[in-house]
Amino acid sequence: QAQANQPLWDLNQIRQFFSGTGLSALMDLPWFPIFIVAVFLLHPTVGWFVTLGSILLLVTSVISERIARPGLSQASEMGLAAQGLAASQLRNAEVITALGMLPALANRWKALQIRARTLQRQVSDQVSAMGGISRLMRLTIQSGTLGIGAYLAILGEMTPGAMIAATILSTRALAPLEALIVNWKSMLASLSSQQRLDRLLKEHPEPLKGMSIPRPRGIISAENIFVSAPSNRAFILKGLSFEFEPGEAIGIIGPSASGKSTLLRAILGVWPTALGKMRIDGSEIRGWPREEIGPAIGYLPQDIELFGGTVGENIARFGELNSERIIEATNACGMHGMILRLPSGYDTEIGEGGITLSAGQRQLIGLARAVYGQPVVIALDEPSSNLDEVGDRVLAQTIKAAKSWGSTVIVVSHDPKLLKLMDRLMMIFDGQIREFGPSSEVISAIKRRSTKPVREERVQ
């Protein structure tokens, strides 16, 4: 949760910098050399004195930046960690209450908060101290300029008017530098935010733009794809190549953490391929504008996320409320009657995250959202995990209906009843395809492999 909110926090940090006094300090900075040149024209000695003083101020700023940057970064990370922990506790309040975990988690949150506030206070103290030193140096430079000017006036090398002008010009020259130092903390925070946003944009490049392409048929093909999680260089999928045809159901099986869910994300273009090509109807999935390819895709993730709004709005993906298409989707899932039994039917408010619904109801509504509009590619990740016997029948009915539309159905599951509905099975092991073919052949191969060690042991 904290990582998800980080980009918004960074964007707000940059906005505050541009709307505050920090930007005006930067805008005044180009006047600094002009004022310095004017002081030199009045007298070189005064000019050199002001220049050396300005260099000392800049050195102070650099030292302040070097001292404050690590602490500021750590304070930001600790603050985000505390926010993430608090959000996690709110989402899992029932478990925390039932298991008596609140005191321990509260102490953990408190420790993170104390650490974050301590680091922020240390950084603020350091920046304030450097700011005080810079103001002292500025006053010293102004007084020194006036004193040197008076001495030169006594010697007859400057007029009293030039002395006063040099003092005023030195004050104007040093003002942008002092403002820069005062706003140094916000500038550092904005710079860190900008760097994080740059990294995020590089990790999630803008899709390639081109002419609009007709709605795809649903031919999915992979050409030696390698896929890693965002912000992680380690490959989860390694060299996968395959092709799925429209109208068939593909089951993805394999042990935990083998890359099954990652494969679904790669097929849908949620996670881009690091190497190789992921295609739909021969075109790279990342080349399709999401607003065009999105309606042609259905996706039910493991962790179902519903959004604050009505049941109908969630099924319609918060687009135009087309009653016919919504009811078509729920009829395909066999859940039209269930929704009508809700307090307000399709207009029932489900709350943020679908909090007013049971886990099974959330899963079925997510399933209806996945098949809304008869998408050509439907990806289901452990769709039966929260379903009872009735829900299993509804799910089987949905898969059969999707196949009749000509959709390419891809299901990650360990449920034997569900796998019987699959035309082909793909077994993923350690990010690679171990078996792929007709369901009966793959199941037979898996059985032979599992019984082989037992037979060898008996022979020995």
Domain span including residue 350 = 220-455
The answer to whether residue 253 is domain-embedded is yes
Examine the domain organization and report whether 194 and 273 are in the same domain.
no
Which residue in the block uniquely carries the two structure tokens 């360990």?
414
Do both 188 and 306 map to the same domain?
A: no
Give residue 460's pLDDT.
41
In degrees and rounded to multiples of 5, residue 226 shows phi and psi of: -125, 130
Which range of 5-14, 15-24, 120-129, 422-431 scores highest in mean pLDDT? It is 422-431
Decide which of 133, 168, 203 is a domain's last residue.
203
Residue 71 lies in a domain: yes
pLDDT for 380 equals: 92
Is there a contact between 334 and 393 (Cβ–Cβ < 8 Å)? yes
DSSP string covering 64-114: HHHHHHHHHHHHHHHHHHHHHHHHHHHHTHHHHHHHT-HHHHHHHHHHHHH
Angle formed by the axes of helices 359-371 and 323-332, nearest 10° = 120
pLDDT score, position 457: 40
* 229 and 172 inside one domain: no
% of the chain at pLDDT higher than 90: 10
| Number of domains, the chain | 2
Note whether 240 and 336 are same-domain residues. Answer: yes
pLDDT, position 48: 92
pLDDT digits (tens, 9 = 90+) for 298-357: 999 888 888 888 888 988 888 888 888 999 888 888 888 888 888 888 888 887 766 777
In a shared domain, residues 36 and 137: yes
Residues 233 and 191 in one domain: no
pTM confidence score: 0.67
Same domain, 113 and 172: yes
pLDDT in the model for residue 410: 93
DSSP-derived secondary structure for 121-172: HHHHHHHHHHHHHHHHHHHHHHHHHHHHHHHHHHHTSS-HHHHHHHHHHHHH
Over residues 222-240, the mean pLDDT reads 87
Residue 248 pLDDT: 92
Integer CA distances (angstroms), 44 to 49, 54, 139, 175, 285, in order: 9, 15, 20, 21, 66
Rounded to whole angstroms, the maximal C-alpha distance in the chain is 113
- 196, 224: one domain: no
Strands (E), 347-431: 377-381, 408-412, 424-429
User: Does residue 209 belong to any structural domain of this protein?
Assistant: no
Q: Does the structure show a pLDDT above 70 at 459? A: no
Same domain, 186 and 66: yes
Q: Which two tokens stand for residue 246?
A: 């429209």
Report the residue count for the chain.
460
Read off the pLDDT of each residue in 111-139 and give the average, rounded to a whole number.
80
Rg (CA), the chain: 32
Residue 153 sits in the same domain as residue 240: no
149-158 mean pLDDT: 88
Where a domain ends, among 203, 238, 262? Answer: 203
pLDDT at 204 (0 to 100)? 67
Identify whether 244 is part of a domain.
yes
Tokens 């420790």, residue?
A: 111
Say if residue 152 is in the same domain as residue 246: no
pLDDT of residue 271: 86
CATH code of the domain covering residue 419:
3.40.50.300
163 and 149 in contact (C-beta within 8 Å)? yes
**Residues ≥6 apart with Cβ < 8 Å to 52:** none
Summarize pLDDT for 178-221 with one digit per residue, the tens: 777 777 777 777 888 888 888 888 776 665 555 566 778 888 99
Task: List, edge to edge, every strand of the sheet that includes 235-244.
Answer: 235-244, 220-228, 275-280, 283-284
- Which residues sit opposite 437 in a β-bridge? 425
Q: Which of 177, 203, 229 is the last residue of a domain?
A: 203
Grade residue 269 by pLDDT with cuts at 50, 70 and 90.
confident
Same domain, 195 and 227: no
CATH number at residue 189: 1.20.1560.10
CB 379 within 8 A of CB 363: no
**In what side-by-side order are the strands of the sheet with 377-381?**
297-300, 377-381, 408-412, 249-253, 424-429, 432-438
What pLDDT score does 33 carry? 87
The whole-number average pLDDT for the span 81-87 is: 75
Could you tell me which residue, 356 or 379, shows the higher pLDDT? 379
Q: What is the DSSP letter of 310?
A: B
Domain-embedded: residue 433: yes
Residue 212 maps to a domain:
no
What pLDDT is stored for residue 424 in this prediction? 92
Q: Is residue 214 part of a domain?
A: no
Q: Is the residue at 215 inside a domain?
A: no
Tell me if residue 58 falls in helix, strand or coil: helix
